[in-house]
Amino acid sequence: MVRAQPAQQAPPLQRLRVRYAKRGRARFASHRDIGRAIERALRRASIPMAYSSGFSPHPRISYAGASPTGAASESEYLELGLSARLEPDHVRTLLSQALPDGIEVVGVVEATGGALADQLTASAWRLDLPGVTAAIAEQATTTLLAQPEHLVERMTKNGMRTFNVRSAILRIEVVGEGLIDLVSAIGTPLVRPDDIVTALTAVSPAFRPTQPPIFTRLAQGTFDGNQVIDPVPATLPPASSPD
């Protein structure tokens, strides 16, 4: 017996790009946990979602550039396909009210232009490194920047991989005691802030945080040589302590 083909779902009537923050304890949630929380919030907020076709339709949600588990962020992205048109600010309000503490929608706009992932080519990070003095950080960053290449290894779900962290650093600056601002390229394979810390530790024996570092993504988008420009501007001020 031939299984009947499922009905085809209508294409989305509206696509929205959503920028959200991941703060406090929410930084320890995995990307899968965040996705489940967002889907529940969409249902709770009665957002009219468009669905994919096939035998197991899913709401049309696509994610781009998710930060690693353990990192806080003011700039995470997803795109929604809706079956009815809504004002972006209204969607922001509804979602923020339905999401759990620590996850907050800070901006929503109509999706325009090319693919969202193509507009996310760099990240701005704040690295909080307890116990690392500004002098030690300056010495370590200067040494790392002087190297044409620096390889580190990290275990991934596909096994051990090697990353050239030097090629991913677009800018790195010591901004205070135990504080480094980093702009890194988003590429394949993806170099993460902890890879940068591994490299700094390797080039400077004195570079040893006394507590686990805290990483906060401040922006995600395109780097103009001066700053990283988000494709979705924040309509809410950042939290006073996003990490």
**pLDDT score for 242:** 44
- Please report, for the chain, the start and end positions of each structural domain, with discontinuous segments joined by +: 14-118, 121-229
Give Cα 243 to chain centroid, integer Å.
13
**pLDDT score for 240:** 52
Structure tokens at 124: 């701005």
DSSP run (H or E) holding 217: strand 214-223
Q: Is the peptide bond before 88 cis (omega within 30 degrees of 0)?
A: no
- 71 SS3 class: coil
Give Cα 236 to chain centroid, integer Å.
17
pLDDT in tens, 136-182: 999 999 999 999 999 999 988 888 989 999 999 999 999 999 999 99
| CA distance linking residue 220 with residue 19, whole number of Å | 10
Q: Which residue has the higher pLDDT, 218 or 56?
A: 218
Helices (H), the chain: 31-44, 88-98, 134-145, 165-168, 193-203
Structure tokens at 37: 């929380």
Q: 0.75 exceeded by the pTM?
A: yes
Helices (H) and strands (E) in the chain, counts: 5, 11
Report the DSSP pairing between strands 14-22 and 61-64.
unpaired
| CA distance linking residue 26 with residue 17, whole number of Å | 21
Non-local CB neighbours of 93 within 8 Å, separated by 6+ positions: none
pLDDT in tens, 80-97: 999 999 999 999 999 999
In this structure, the dihedral spanned by the alpha carbons of residues 204, 210, 216 and 217, taken in order and rounded to 10 degrees, is 10
For the domain made up of 121-229, the CATH class stated in words is alpha beta
Q: Give domain 14-118's CATH number out of 3.40.50.300, 3.30.70.580, 3.90.1150.10, 1.10.10.10.
A: 3.30.70.580
Mean pLDDT across 43-71: 91
